[in-house]
Amino acid sequence: PIVGVIVVAAGSGTRLGADRPKAFVDCAGRTVLERSLDSVFGMQREAQVVVVAPADLVAEAEDIARRAAGAAESSISVVAGGDTRQQSVSNGLAALDAGIRIVLVHDAARALTPAAIFDDVVTGVAQTASGIVPGVPVQDTVKRVDDDDAVVETIDRAELRSIQTPQGFPRASLAAAYADAEIEYTDDAALFAAAGHPVSVIDGDALSFKITTPWDLRRAEGLLASAPA
Ligand code: CTP
Ligand code: MG
């Protein structure tokens, strides 16, 4: 394959507050990680899949990965993550095969992301050689406030997008940007853009929301109950 997908699952899930790291928490009968990998293996294109897991859960992640891969032709491996998401992505990048040309980075916590989004992001990168990120319009009015919470201005939300994953990049330029990064960025696209590369937004999907809090987990389970996936 020429496509690599790095699924970062090495966070601790502090805000979810479960008794285990978030990717290994049950979501309506299957783990968050297994649900995410189901979407990855639903891609049209063959891919090399690298799961980044907490160091003490690599073996468990390998079991989940094998189950999710089933008879899929895509290959899958698991590596240990780091203290920050950026370090975890960096560990995943190091595990990619030499032939990989396009890399997608995906949060395992976005467990219900439609498979088609992965293919859309790959297509975007292949056509533009830019970074490609899925995004959705911002629904609420957004205001800038000062230190005392007084409203300074209302931002024109028509020019805002909430950004999701998977985020896709040409492999060589993402790896170089990672090697040169000296600060922590909020997402891979910010790191990539800081290295001087263009990034474009394509249509994301409401189902790609990130499971962050207990409320998000209940929302995911509710959606699965009403439309089993
Ligand atoms: N992640 C990771 N390695 C880290 C931190 C985060 O691989 N050191 C991954 C998480 O597993 C998650 C994704 O990055 O799939 C997005 O991060 P977030 O939602 O913040 O997850 P956590 O860091 O686990 O949650 P929290 O911030 O609430 O502790
Ligand atoms: Mg976090």
pTM (two decimals): 0.97
3-226 topology per CATH:
Spore Coat Polysaccharide Biosynthesis Protein SpsA; Chain A (3.90.550)
Question: To test ligand 1's pocket by mutation, which of 20, 35, 85 has the most ligand atoms within 8 angstroms of CB?
Answer: 85
161 pLDDT exceeds 70?
Answer: yes
Contact between 55 and 82 (Cβ < 8 Å) = no
Q: pLDDT per residue over 28-59, tens digit each?
A: 999 999 999 999 999 999 999 999 999 999 99
Q: How many CB atoms lie within 10 A of CB 44?
A: 11
pLDDT at position 83 over 80 = yes
Cα(76) to centroid(ligand 2), Å: 24
Q: CA 54, CA 58: separation in Å to the nearest integer?
A: 6
State the helix-helix crossing angle for 58-69 and 32-40, rounded to 10 degrees.
40
- Ligand 1 atom nearest the C-alpha of 84 is 8
Mutate to test the pocket of ligand 1, among 5, 6, 7, 12 (most ligand atoms within 8 A of CB): 12
Place 189 in a pLDDT band, splitting at 50, 70 and 90: very high
Q: What is the ipTM of this complex?
A: 0.99
Percentage above 70 pLDDT, the chain = 99
Mean pLDDT calculated for residue range 113-129: 98
pLDDT band at 227 (very low <50, low <70, confident <90, very high): confident
Rounded Cα distance, 138 and 160, in Å: 6
pLDDT of residue 208: 98
Predicted confidence at residue 188, as pLDDT, reads: 98
Q: How far is the CA of 80 from the centre of ligand 1 (A)?
A: 13
The answer to whether residue 229 scores a pLDDT higher than 90 is: no
